[in-house]
């Protein structure tokens, strides 16, 4: 196994400018997450995470974003190349634990992305 497989590089991050003026396609939804997709021409999989301020305090919102990015870092094989992936967090789960979050995100991406 290559160590670089489990990193989240700058090239894989979506920046603020990458969100503006894009028509996102809703792919799948769970109780707490929505997965939106957009094609890109970079040949790599990219990730962005967004959450509303109304979802909770800053500490909990930031923890949820960190967990979503960690899931991407460890499970890149679930994401397709040439796609921008936006995970929109609707609400926070009762328990902000690694297991609960990863289980729901895995269900969100369990089918192959077209």
Q: What pLDDT digit, counting tens, does each position of 5-16 carry?
A: 788 889 999 988
**Hey, how many other C-beta atoms are within 10 angstroms of the C-beta on 13?**
14
Q: How many domains does the chain have?
A: 1
Instruction: Please report whether residue 12 resides in a domain.
Output: no
Instruction: Please report whether residue 61 resides in a domain.
Output: yes
The enclosing domain of 84 has a CATH number of 3.30.230.10
The residue segments making up the domain with residue 96 are: 24-108
φ and ψ at 29, to 5 degrees?
Answer: -140, 145
Instruction: Please report whether residue 17 resides in a domain.
Output: no
pLDDT at 94: 84
- For the question of whether the overall pTM of this predicted structure is more than 0.85, the answer is yes
Q: What is the pLDDT of residues 31-53, one digit of tens each?
A: 999 999 999 888 899 999 999 99
Q: Is the distance from CB of 20 to CB of 38 less than 8 angstroms?
A: no
pLDDT at 64: 95
Instruction: Please report whether residue 43 resides in a domain.
Output: yes
pLDDT at 3: 60
Helices marked H in the chain:
16-19, 58-74, 98-108
pLDDT at 41: 86
Instruction: Please report whether residue 6 resides in a domain.
Output: no
Average pLDDT, the chain: 88
Q: Which residue has the tokens 């979503």?
A: 68
């Amino acid at each position: 196994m290559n160590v670089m497989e489990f990193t989240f590089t700058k090239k894989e991050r979506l920046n603020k400018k990458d969100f503006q003026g894009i028509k996102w396609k809703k792919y799948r939804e769970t109780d707490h997450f929505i997965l939106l997709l957009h094609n890109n021409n970079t040949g790599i999989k990219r990730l962005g995470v967004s959450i509303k301020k109304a979802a909770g305090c800053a500490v909990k919102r930031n923890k949820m974003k960190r967990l979503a990015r960690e899931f991407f870092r460890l499970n890149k094989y679930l994401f397709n190349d040439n796609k921008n992936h936006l995970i929109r967090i609707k609400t926070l789960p009762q328990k902000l634990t690694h297991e609960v979050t990863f289980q729901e995100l895995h269900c969100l991406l369990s089918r192959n992305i077209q």
